[in-house]
Amino acid sequence: DTEVTQTPKHLVMGMTNKKSLKCEQHMGHRAMYWYKQKAKKPPELMFVYSYEKLSINESVPSRFSPECPNSSLLNLHLHALQPEDSALYLCASSQDPSGAYEQYFGPGTRLTVT
Amino acid sequence: KNEVEQSPQNLTAQEGEFITINCSYSVGISALHWLQQHPGGGIVSLFMLSSGKKKHGRLIATINIQEKHSSLHITASHPRDSAVYICATRDDKIIFGKGTRLHILP
């Protein structure tokens, strides 16, 4: 099983809402990543979890809150978002964070903030 | 910081043509990814290379570590190959190129 799954596929939320994005992998990977991608731009790294601990936060605003409850699951909690946060949010995983292994990407969650 | 440059930015070709997409980077890396993204879709990893050449079906990827350059080739291109192809370098972080938008006409 080389699949990374993400739910939901689409999410529309108001600026006062609280919602969560979910990512799951069952490949035994110990590194998991959140990326944000705006239209016609490459993905931008947001967070890296390494062995279930947050290892990189790319100066992401606190209205985005990641969580790694176990080695297979990665959540991104959203609160008080702005319309400019509308984007495709991609999750990825790799065997470890060293750079020696490829990343496997999920299909993404398309988020619209109204 | 590694700079990753891709060329061309956009490419339109006829079905059956041989396609080449280039990627150059500025500092030494541990590996390089080639990724494919269809419109509105997630990203598929095509290759991860640290040296030499890899082939999968009609896709071939090469890397020259000394010249800091990689190429992705598609033989006998098909409209379903239409996508954005992204080169990304891997070290402690992944750095993405801006992507090449490929459109294959039937």
| pLDDT single digits (tens) A34-64 | 999 999 899 999 999 999 999 999 999 999 9
pLDDT at residue A35 in the model: 96
pLDDT at residue A77 in the model: 98
3-state secondary structure of A66: strand
Question: From chain B, which residues contact A within 8 Å (Cβ)?
Answer: 29-31, 33, 35, 40-45, 48, 86, 88, 90-94, 96-99
**DSSP assignment of B37-99:** E-TT--EEEEEEESSEEEEETTEEEEEETTTTEEEEEESS--GGG-EEEEEEEESSSEEE---
Are B33 and A42 within 8 A, CB to CB? no
Residues 85-114 (A) with a CB less than 8 A from some CB of B: 90, 92, 97-108, 110
Of B31, B40, B42, Cβ closest to residue A105: B42
Q: State the Cα–Cα distance between residues A36 and A57, nearest whole angstrom.
A: 13
Q: Give φ, ψ of A108 to 5 degrees.
A: 95, 155
Token readout for B86 is: 């992204």
Q: Are B11 and B103 in contact (CB under 8 A)?
A: yes
Q: What average pLDDT does the structure give for chain A?
A: 94
Higher pLDDT, B87 or A2: B87
For the cut 70, the answer to whether the pLDDT of residue A2 exceeds it is no
Question: Which chain A residues contact residue B36 at CB under 8 A?
Answer: none
At B12-54, the pLDDT tens digits run: 999 999 999 999 998 888 889 999 999 877 899 999 999 999 9
Are A106 and B42 within 8 A, CB to CB? yes
Q: State the Cα–Cα distance between residues B33 and B48, nearest whole angstrom.
A: 4
Q: Give φ, ψ of B81 to 5 degrees.
A: -80, -10
pLDDT at residue B93 in the model: 77
